[in-house]
């Protein structure tokens, strides 16, 4: 690290260099932070990322359009369906596909479940970082219910790949209504349980109130998005400002706080859990019937039965499976509100059956850039609370 202070420099300044990570339980993945300390105060914090770099963007360029979907799961492995959705929306925009209402509402319902899943993992691990061990057990207990729903829908608990270009991979499984109603019936009281454990807990308040403060302008300037921005007082949510997948038909609030500290970020995310429940309930109550895939024979695989009995369908099936489908030349930047903030897919097509370039503007990458400003000049003991409040996933940072 060329920017890390050498021992002699540090000695002159009477500071100590502390290496946090790459494997540290509180860094939520493989993140290395070089901390230069003056006593208990952090003088300089230099994040070192790239340990989870897997070259997904390069890999996308040799897969067909549909084959990229499973790769997007692996970008942010706690918000896999959000990534599926953003990519599919981008490609559908290039193709000019119209997605039937049932698929759109299913997508909304499942991405909100993803938000709950992601926030629960965040809350559990964040609380454990700060020392509240039991919250993690509650969060992971309830997250399991969400994962069971994902498993019923897609066959996978985490790497779902359930959304496809043109709609969904399959229609909703038998008995999905019961799973969702059970979840909607029990989950709101579980949120109360977490709040009982934390919101008025004096230790929690002492560790989080006034910690990791950053001004809104600073946050916007260094590229933060999502709950970090909302905890600083700006009600900016892409679901409201640039609605996609039918979000304009749902009623929900955008929770904001003004303190912009670790506690404000916590309470924004907990409020978002409740809003997500509201959205899921609306999507469930009003779930339209009909097709779950677009009427686009050249893009969407034909039904199995038709493929076996009709020549046309067989030809389409063969073409899609062997060479994929072409996407008109052009480019699109599609953004959605992922659990962590603005997720953007910049997709460039040259007209062939493979993407020419896929760039993922991931929320964690932007949020992690706030680290030096959030840690420097503050106490080492607060760094863990501040780091946790950024809510980054290292797979999402490194891609």
Partner 1 sequence: MEEESTGLVSDCKQMISEEVKAMRVVQAVEACEGALLDGSIARGELVLEIASGLIVAVARLLRADSFVRLSAVTCVDLYPMEPRFEVVYQLHSLERNERVRLKCKLSGTDPAIDSVMGVWRSANWYEREVFDMFGVVFRGHPDLKRILMPEDWTGHPLRKDYPIHGHKYSYQNE
Residues in contact with partner 1 by the rule CB under 8 A: 2-3, 49-50, 53, 55, 57-59, 61-62, 93-94, 217, 220-223, 234, 236, 241-242, 328-333, 335, 342, 344, 346, 348, 350-351, 356-357, 359, 361, 365-366, 369, 398-399
Q: Exposed (0-12), middle (13-18) or buried (19+): which is 162, by Cβ within 10 Å?
A: buried
Closest approach of partner 1 to the CB of residue 3, in Å = 6
Closest approach of partner 1 to the CB of residue 345, in Å = 10
User: Strand pairing partners for 168?
Assistant: 163
Closest approach of partner 1 to the CB of residue 77, in Å = 17
User: Strand pairing partners for 212?
Assistant: none
Any alpha helices (H) in the chain, and if so which ranges? 7-12, 56-60, 69-73, 80-95, 101-130, 133-154, 176-198, 202-208, 216-222, 227-230, 238-241, 262-285, 304-309, 311-323, 363-368, 371-375, 380-390, 394-398
DSSP, collapsed to helix, strand or coil, labels residue 198 as: helix
By beta-carbon proximity to partner 1, the closer residue of 34 and 198 is 34
By beta-carbon proximity to partner 1, the closer residue of 179 and 332 is 332
Give the largest Cα separation in the chain, rounded. Answer: 81
By beta-carbon proximity to partner 1, the closer residue of 55 and 290 is 55
Beta carbons of 237 and 256 less than 8 angstroms apart? no
Closest approach of partner 1 to the CB of residue 24, in Å = 19
Closest approach of partner 1 to the CB of residue 373, in Å = 9
φ/ψ of 289, rounded to 5, equals: -90, -165
By beta-carbon proximity to partner 1, the closer residue of 127 and 232 is 232
By beta-carbon proximity to partner 1, the closer residue of 110 and 224 is 224
By beta-carbon proximity to partner 1, the closer residue of 197 and 348 is 348
Closest approach of partner 1 to the CB of residue 348, in Å = 6
φ/ψ of 47, rounded to 5, equals: -70, 145
């Amino acid at each position: 690290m060329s920017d890390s202070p050498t021992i002699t420099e540090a000695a002159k300044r009477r500071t100590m260099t502390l290496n946090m990570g790459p494997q540290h339980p509180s860094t939520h993945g493989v993140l290395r932070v070089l901390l230069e300390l003056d006593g208990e105060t952090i003088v300089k914090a230099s994040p070192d990322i790239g340990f989870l770099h897997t070259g997904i963007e390069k890999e996308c360029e040799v897969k067909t359009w549909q084959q990229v979907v499973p790769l997007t799961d692996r970008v942010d492995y706690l918000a896999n369906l959000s990534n599926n959705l953003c990519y599919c929306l981008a490609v559908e925009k290039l193709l000019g596909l119209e997605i039937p209402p049932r698929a759109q509402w299913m997508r909304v319902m499942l991405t909100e479940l993803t938000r709950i899943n992601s926030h629960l993992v965040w809350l559990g691990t964040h609380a454990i970082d700060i020392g509240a061990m039991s919250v993690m057990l509650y969060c992971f207990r309830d997250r399991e219910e969400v994962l069971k729903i994902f498993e019923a829908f897609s066959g996978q608990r985490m790497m779902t790949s359930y959304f496809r270009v043109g709609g969904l991979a399959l229609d909703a499984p038998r008995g999905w209504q019961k799973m969702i109603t059970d979840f909607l019936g029990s989950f709101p009281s579980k949120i109360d349980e977490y709040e009982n454990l934390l919101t008025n807990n004096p230790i929690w308040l002492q560790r989080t109130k006034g910690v990791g403060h950053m001004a809104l302008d600073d946050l916007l300037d260094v590229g933060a998005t999502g709950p970090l921005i909302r905890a600083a007082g700006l009600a900016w949510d892409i679901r409201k400002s640039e609605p996609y997948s039918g979000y304009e038909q749902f009623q929900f609030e955008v929770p904001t706080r003004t303190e912009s500290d670790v506690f404000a970020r916590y309470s924004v995310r907990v409020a978002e859990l409740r809003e997500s429940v509201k959205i899921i309930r609306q999507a469930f109550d009003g779930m339209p019937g009909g097709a779950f895939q677009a009427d686009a024979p050249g893009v969407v695989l034909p039904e199995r039965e038709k493929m076996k009995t009709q020549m046309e369908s067989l030809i389409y099936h063969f073409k899609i499976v062997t060479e994929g489908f072409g996407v008109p030349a052009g480019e699109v930047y599609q953004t959605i509100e992922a659990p962590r903030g603005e997720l953007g897919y910049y997709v460039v097509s040259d007209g062939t059956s493979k993407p020419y370039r896929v760039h993922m503007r991931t929320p964690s990458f932007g949020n992690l850039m706030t680290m030096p400003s959030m840690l420097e000049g503050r106490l080492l003991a607060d760094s863990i609370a501040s780091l946790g409040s950024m809510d980054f996933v290292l797979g999402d940072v490194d891609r």
